[in-house]
């Protein structure tokens, strides 16, 4: 797809143009209009920020520096936060009471050492390394003070600003951002929920020996403080670290793809924040085997069976370049007539590549430039699409983008193996669903045989690709070519 062109030449696949108004971007007046509207946005934003600043300053219970704690995390977390949380949130002990003094003395004896400088800091919390008196080295995740109280004000401000943008640019639909923040932020602020998610995903993916989820120490954790096993490693996008430690980037990319395909297509329980700081790699000190360490389990998306199965069908269609079913299942997932754009967003490929088959050729630099240019061209349509797809899809899109950025850093993006892993998971998920829908032993057996045949075909295809990519495979193919009869 070239910049400025539609996604396809076929009439029924075209993205509908904007209905609100027609804009000639080639005329000088268009730039002036955009400049005036941009000035309005700046004015509205300034007024909102000024108003919120005045409110915070005038409120005797708030410090002006508290504003934006959710996003920039200015508050400093120390052992005092841990003590306070144990004494008030966990124990509900009145401040200054005899029991308070007794518990405080116990808490002071909790850590043999505690590093005040955090290992990592984010908008909601920061993590410190500590050693317990029993010798265990732990990671202590401490929520920034006042984040709980400040979060509702930040969401309110976000709602005001998004509403202002909506008034100025009616074609842009961003209210879903506010809805998602309202739903997800309370979950992320509850560290006990994060601990439960960590244990659930560890049990769910226990068959993957390469996956390491740090153990949670429940007896020392609260809603605002989470103690877990301390595990070190390099970030998953750090090629220098991997080369230094002799870790195969292609294997890591394959394992990451297996892990997330299993979450999305088979289990419908998806870790939605796989940025490099939350995904580490290392060689296990005890076994020497390479491990992927998954951190920060505060945000998960639970997929309904209907959504998950439609998504399985859609990816199977995308991998096979079955455009009839790409259209069908994209529309069932809420894309409507914008399904060509939806397919491009899911795969980060051009419409031409989607039509040819996304596994047929790797992404080129020219295609990347083309995609970036069209992202700007179709911004209103993208906004409309994000507003109409199921809310479950929003975090899936975010997860896809983060995984894709890791693959780009490792130079393993859109490899054939990643699509084969997805095909396996889709095949297994759809076969499991069919077996659940029938009581006939004969039909179940037929479904299982069909599943085994499909998986066998995928394995055979993967073996073929591996042989073709090896020096032995190249030699064998060259020999067959040399021995084949030359046409006259």
Residue numbers annotated as active site? 273
What single-letter DSSP state applies at residue 216? B
On whether the CB atoms of residues 191 and 221 are closer than 8 A, the answer is yes
HEC profile of 378-416:
CHHHHHHHHHHCCHHHHHHHHHHHHHHHHHHHCCCCCCH
| Rounded-to-integer distance, Cα 211 and Cα 280, Å | 10
Main-chain phi, psi angles of 281, to 5 degrees: -130, 150
- Residue 105 sits at the vertex; the CA angle it makes with 190 and 145, to the nearest 5 degrees, is 30
The three-state secondary structure class of 301 is strand
Calculate ∠ Cα 215-217-218, nearest 5°.
125
Q: Are 187 and 193 in contact (CB under 8 A)?
A: yes
Angle ∠(81,87,90) on CA atoms, nearest 5: 100
C-alpha–C-alpha distance, residues 351 and 9, integer Å: 10
Q: Answer for the pair 343, 7: CB distance below 8 angstroms, yes or no.
A: no
DSSP state, 474? H
- CA–CA dist 74, 96 (Å, integer): 28
Phi, psi of 14 (to 5 degrees): -75, 145
Report how far residue 437's alpha carbon sits from residue 18's, in angstroms, rounded to the nearest whole number: 43
- 480 exposed, middle or buried (CB, 10 Å; 0-12, 13-18, 19+)? exposed
Cα–chain center distance at 431: 26
**What whole-number distance in Å separates Cα of residue 136 and Cα of residue 158?**
42
> Is 144 within 8 Å of 77 (Cβ atoms)?
yes
Number of H helices, E strands in the chain: 19, 11
Beta carbons within 10 angstroms of residue 237's beta carbon: 20
Residue with tokens 């073929």, as numbered in its chain: 464
Beta bridge partners of 141: 127, 226
Q: Whole-angstrom Cα distance, residue 405 to residue 412?
A: 10
E strands along 209-278, which residues? 211-212, 225-229, 234-235, 269-271
């Amino acid at each position: 797809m070239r910049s400025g062109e539609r996604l396809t030449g076929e009439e029924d696949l075209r993205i509908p143009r904007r209905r609100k108004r027609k804009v000639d971007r080639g005329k000088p007046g268009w730039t002036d209009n955009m400049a005036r509207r941009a000035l309005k946005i700046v004015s509205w934003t300034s007024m909102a920020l000024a108003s919120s600043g005045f409110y915070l300053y005038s409120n005797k219970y708030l410090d002006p520096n508290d504003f934006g704690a959710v996003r920039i995390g200015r508050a400093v977390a120390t052992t005092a936060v841990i003590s306070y949380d144990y004494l008030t949130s966990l124990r509900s002990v009145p401040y200054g009471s005899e029991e308070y003094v007794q518990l405080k003395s116990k808490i002071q004896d909790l850590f043999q050492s505690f590093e005040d400088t955090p290992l990592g800091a984010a908008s909601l919390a920061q993590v410190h390394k500590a050693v317990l008196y029993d010798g265990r080295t732990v990671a202590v995740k401490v929520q920034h003070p006042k984040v709980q109280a400040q979060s509702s004000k930040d969401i309110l401000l976000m709602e005001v600003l998004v509403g202002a943008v909506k008034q100025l640019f009616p074609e842009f639909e961003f209210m879903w951002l506010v809805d998602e923040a309202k739903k997800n932020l309370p979950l992320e602020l509850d560290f006990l929920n994060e601990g439960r998610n960590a244990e659930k995903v560890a049990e769910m993916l226990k068959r993957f020996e390469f996956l390491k989820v740090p153990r949670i120490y429940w007896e020392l954790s609260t809603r605002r403080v989470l103690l877990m096993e301390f595990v070190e490693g390099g970030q998953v996008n750090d090629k220098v670290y991997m080369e230094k430690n002799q870790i195969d980037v292609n294997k890591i990319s394959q394992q990451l793809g297996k892990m997330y395909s299993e979450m999305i297509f088979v289990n419908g329980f998806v870790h939605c924040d796989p940025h490099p700081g939350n995904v580490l790699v290392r060689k296990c000190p005890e076994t020497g085997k390479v491990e992927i360490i998954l951190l920060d389990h505060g945000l998960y998306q639970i997929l309904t069976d209907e959504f998950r199965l439609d998504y399985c069908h859609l990816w199977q269609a995308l991998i096979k370049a079955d455009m009839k079913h790409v259209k069908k299942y994209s529309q069932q997932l809420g894309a409507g007539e914008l399904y060509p754009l939806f397919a491009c967003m899911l795969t980060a490929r051009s419409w031409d590549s989607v039509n040819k088959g996304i596994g047929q050729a790797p992404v080129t630099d020219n295609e990347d430039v083309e995609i970036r240019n069209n992202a700007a061209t179709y911004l209103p349509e993208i906004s409309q699409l994000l507003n109409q797809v199921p809310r479950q899809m929003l975090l899936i899109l975010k997860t896809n983008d983060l995984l894709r950025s890791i693959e780009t850093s490792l130079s393993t993006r859109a490899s054939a193996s990643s699509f084969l892993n997805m095909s396996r998971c889709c095949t297994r998920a759809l076969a499991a669903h069919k077996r659940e829908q029938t009581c006939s032993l004969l039909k179940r057996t037929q479904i299982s045989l069909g599943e085994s045949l499909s998986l066998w075909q995928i394995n055979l295809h993967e073996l073929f690709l591996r042989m073709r990519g090896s020096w032995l495979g190249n030699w064998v193919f060259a020999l067959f070519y040399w021995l084949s009869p030359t046409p006259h």
